[in-house]
Amino acid sequence: MSNVKEFTDRLSKLDFKKMYEDNFFLTWEKTDDEIAAVFTVADALRHLRENNISTKIFDSGLGISLFRDNSTRTRFSFASACNLLGLEVQDLDEGKSQIAHGETVRETANMISFMADVIGIRDDMYIGKGNKYMHDVVDAVTEGYKDGVLEQKPTLVNLQCDIDHPTQCMADMLHIIHEFGGVENLKGKKVAMSWAYSPSYGKPLSVPQGVIGLMTRFGMNVTLAHPEGYDVMKDVEDVARKNAASTGGSFTKTSSMAEAFKDADIVYPKSWAPFAAMEKRTDLYAKGDQDGINALEKELLKQNAEHKDWCCTEDLMKTTKNGKALYLHCLPADINDVSCKDGEVQASVFDRYRTPLYKEASFKPYIIAAMIFLAKVKDPVATLKALEDRKTLRHFQ
């Protein structure tokens, strides 16, 4: 394709006006047209960059990143997305800020936002805390903007909370769309979102929850598989059931990894901590009970070790559709005899899918950039055309 017309034609048929000057918290809070708009803009931005056309819509400005959990892909994807649009990035290190001295959320949010256009936050470790904190930040900057303290209201992008990981799951979904040749080819496809063994403790619930909350919107048959006791949030399961009912797909649960993998078109074996355990850990942290936290960790590691057979093996992969299901992972995966003795996936399976996995991850910077773009650009169709017509080279060759 030599121009962006295919993308702008697609955008012109969608209703996404409410995304302007809005935030991105959870995928299921967005309409089908708004989700489609993010995918379309992400593809358009990628097309422009790959054709050496600058996509900078800002001459100056700041993207603030706050990571309360470790990150590689999402941290660099956020930085890449901001840079793609012309924003500088500044990481907020809470340990080096006045937050460590008791500064309030309201004060911090306004002090970092004088010239900020976007704030990206990862806060995924504590049930009932992460998404709420993001809303508190938005409330604070909205108040600052209304009071004339801020000359612009920065948009917030959820880079992973306790409920959803929208940038990851939308990158996964766009990868699926490309692999299967379009949204129109997804109806009826079977997706296995399965728990898998990990020797580590307390992995967030937001990836499996994000997957079942998003992929059920495309008429696919989504199966959530996990051992007894490794439940996710009931509210998110309800979202998945509602989505499936409205799209002609299905949402089912099983305690058998083999059942989930049988005839699956897509598999996503990924470890997570039980919802009840995450709730308990949140309470223990609130009380400052370190001994209780240590005891819970030992208990959960022992519980995990009872399910080492929950691993994505070559034998399981052979039972998928034609033995060639698309393997997904948000990375890093726990790989048998590579990153750990026993883990989520056999090394031979991971190695066979390494290139597709890296391609899956490569969609995330464009998804984040699209979320920012749609929140900051009043007329995305006209702006994409203008970027192409301007023909500013991204770099001289």
Q: Which helix (H) or strand (E) holds 50?
A: helix 32-50
Q: What is the pTM of this model?
A: 0.97
User: What's the angle, vertex CA 74, arms to CA 68 and CA 80, rounded to 5?
Assistant: 120
Q: Which residues have CB under 8 Å from 141's CB, separation 6+?
A: 109, 110, 113, 119, 150, 153, 154, 156
Percent of the chain exceeding pLDDT 90 equals 95
Does pLDDT of 102 surpass 90? no
Give exposure, 308-344, as e/b (b: 16+ Cβ within 10 Å): eebbbbeebbebbbeeebbbbbbeebbbbeebeebbb
Residue with tokens 């063994």: 197
d(CA 39, CA 24): 14
Compute the average pLDDT of residues 104-131: 96
Tell me what pLDDT residue 78 has: 98
pLDDT digits (tens, 9 = 90+) for 260-314: 999 999 999 999 999 999 999 999 999 999 999 999 999 999 999 999 999 999 9
- Select from 49, 7, 205 the least CA-distant residue to 125: 205
Q: Model confidence over 81-98: pLDDT tens digits?
A: 999 999 999 999 887 677
Query: Which is more confidently placed, 397 or 169?
Result: 169
> Hey, what amino acid is at 304?
N
pLDDT value for 93: 87
Q: What is the pLDDT confidence band of residue 202, given thresholds at 50, 70 and 90? A: confident
Q: What is the mean pLDDT of residues 96-121?
A: 88
The CA distance from 366 to 47, in Å, is 10
Instruction: Quote the mean pLDDT of the chain.
Output: 96
Please tell me the predicted confidence (pLDDT) of residue 359: 98
Q: Give kind and range of the element (H or E) at residue 157.
A: strand 155-161
pLDDT-based confidence at 333, cuts 50/70/90?
very high
In sequence order, the 6+-apart residues with CB closer than 8 A to the CB of 289 are none
Domains along the sequence of the chain with CATH: 5-164+364-390 (3.40.50.1370), 168-361 (3.40.50.1370)
pLDDT band at residue 100 under the 50/70/90 scheme? low
Could you report the per-residue pLDDT of 24-48, keeping only the tens digit for each? 999 999 999 999 999 999 999 999 9
326, pLDDT greater than 50 = yes
Looking at the predicted structure, is the pLDDT value of residue 346 above 80? yes
> What DSSP assignment string belongs to 320-361?
SGGG-PEE---S---BBTTTBSS-SB-HHHHHHTHHHHHHHH
Average pLDDT value for residue range 52-69:
97
Residues in contact with 81: Cβ distance below 8 Å, sequence separation at least 6, in sequence order: 63, 365, 366, 368, 369, 372
Answer for the pair 397, 28: CB distance below 8 angstroms, yes or no: no
Per-residue pLDDT, 1: 47
Three-class DSSP category at 67: strand
Q: For residues 240 and 313, is the Cβ–Cβ distance under 8 A?
A: no
pLDDT at 15: 98
The rounded distance, in Å, linking the Cα atoms of 88 and 80 is: 10
What is the CB neighbour count within 10 angstroms for residue 248?
12
